[in-house]
Structure 1
Amino acid sequence: MTLNHPLDRPVWSALTTRLAPLAIRAEHGDGAAVRLDPDIGVFAAAADTSPDSRAALDALCRRYPGAGLVEPEETPIAAVLPDLPAVSRAACVQMTAAALTPDTPGDLDVLTLSEADAEEMLALATLTRPGPFRKGTLRLGGFVGVRREGRLIAMAGERMKVDGFSELSGVCTHPDFRGQGLAGALSRIVVGRILERGEQAFLHAYADHAATIAFYEGLGFSVRRRVTYTVLP
């Protein structure tokens, strides 16, 4: 299988280019495997499926447990790590957007989130489970949110970044405030900023979450390909 596009293996592409300063390189195998700083996220990747790369990834995932791999559906690399059986595997879709659908902006008081909001961001993500999230995830940038009644109730931000693309992620709303269009409004702000930089936006969603996929299609995203999200011990 030919993988030429930077989004074909987004974790490897991100952690060896724009997010390299936040990545940990394997100590052997000429850096043939990388992992995002565990305080920031879970993602790891190997250069390829060669024995050296697999050994480097194996060692890195043992040193920093709980890694997550995002690989093309046809060949999830975790399948060639027999000594590290997967905790779980999930089929996902990768979606991209080069433009947003038309929309009439509402009157929303949007805040730029910072280190001072880290604990509340983690609490909101833990409650709503938008995907892997750590206290340091906000260091990936671009997070905005909404406060009501003195608490953070909704947020969205960026995650993986590769040449020409940035990922929309961390989109979530407290259950008490859903149905008010907050997720859509914040997503449009984050994606709008990505597009203004001359990039395209991308994201990942579980393949069996039809409502989530339809939500993002309504913003202007379309499915690019299927990928597998694998969680290691």
Structure 2
Amino acid sequence: MLTNPVWAALSGPQACFAEAAGNAARYLPEIAPFAALSDPADPSAWRDLATITDFAIVTGPSVIPLAGWRTESVTPGVQMIGQSMSGVDDPDTVVLTEKDVPEMLELVARAKPGPFLKRTVDLGRYLGIRDSGGKLVAMAGERFRMPGWTEVSAVCTDPEWRGKGLAARLTLAVASGILARGELPFLHAVHDNDNAIRLYGRLGFTHNADVVFGAYRI
């Protein structure tokens, strides 16, 4: 399941956010740019994908697109799991909802944690920290959800507020909510984001697999 998390999510608990065709599925375009195939090595699954989108970000241990799909970028990453970690609730966090999306998008533009769109917040519980003036300065939330596992995602801090431990607090708080449901947290990081990988290691996440994030267009 962890080797193909987007497929496990879109064919399982997050099917309500999916557009699917045969052995391929994608998140609705306002939710996330990710797509998945039941078997990335199956040419017919790539043909199914072409019937629902002409662009997709596909992740897995290895992704080789079918001829006709142009590779726009391939970013190596790591998958980490929190199989034996403990979450920590944080009384200073606030739950972020649809009304907070404009602020969340502004923070994402400043902090650049990765894909986050107008309805990404619908995928799960998002938490934020605000400064004394009420400005959103850090956030984290849930993205891919599959049986037994939920991904911690969009962990980001305003550049002016980095170094104060906000990312760690939010990651632990989001993980706490996941663990409280009887699920386990996991996450992804770009392979050369050494600071983030070290932080997640200190919080109790361990390396599970090397992965790639490939952007493909037909």
Give, as a single letter, the amino acid of the residue that structure 2 aligns with 1:167: E
Identity %: 39
1:70 aligned partner: 59
The residue matched to 2:53 in structure 1 has which SS? helix
**Counterpart mapping for 1:77-116 below 5 A:** 79-100=64-85, 109-116=92-99
8 Å Cα contact 1:100/1:192 also seen in 2: no
Give unpaired runs (5+ residues) of structure 2: none
How far off its partner does 1:152 sit?
A: 0.8
Give unpaired runs (5+ residues) of structure 1: 1-5
Give, as a single letter, the amino acid of the residue that structure 2 aligns with 1:19: Q
How far off its partner does 1:102 sit?
A: 8.6
**Counterpart mapping for 1:212-223 below 5 A:** 212-223=196-207
Structure 1 length as normaliser, TM-score?
Answer: 0.87
C-alpha distance in 2 between matches for 1:137 and 1:80: 26
Q: 1:102 to 1:86 in 2, by over 3 A?
A: closer
Give the count of matched residue pairs: 215
C-alpha distance in 1 between matches for 2:207 and 2:83: 12
C-alpha distance in 2 between matches for 1:85 and 1:158: 30
Q: 1:25 to 1:83 in 2, by over 3 A?
A: same
2:118 aligned partner: 135
2:201 is the alignment partner of 1:189: no
How far off its partner does 1:98 sit?
A: 2.2
2:8 is the alignment partner of 1:13: yes
- After superposition, the C-alpha distances for 1:170-210 in whole angstroms (9 at most, x for unaligned) are 10010111111111111111001111111111000111222
2:35 is the alignment partner of 1:44: yes
RMSD of equivalent CA atoms: 1.6
**Counterpart mapping for 1:147-186 below 5 A:** 147-148=130-131, 149-186=133-170
Q: 1:102 to 1:227 in 2, by over 3 A?
A: closer
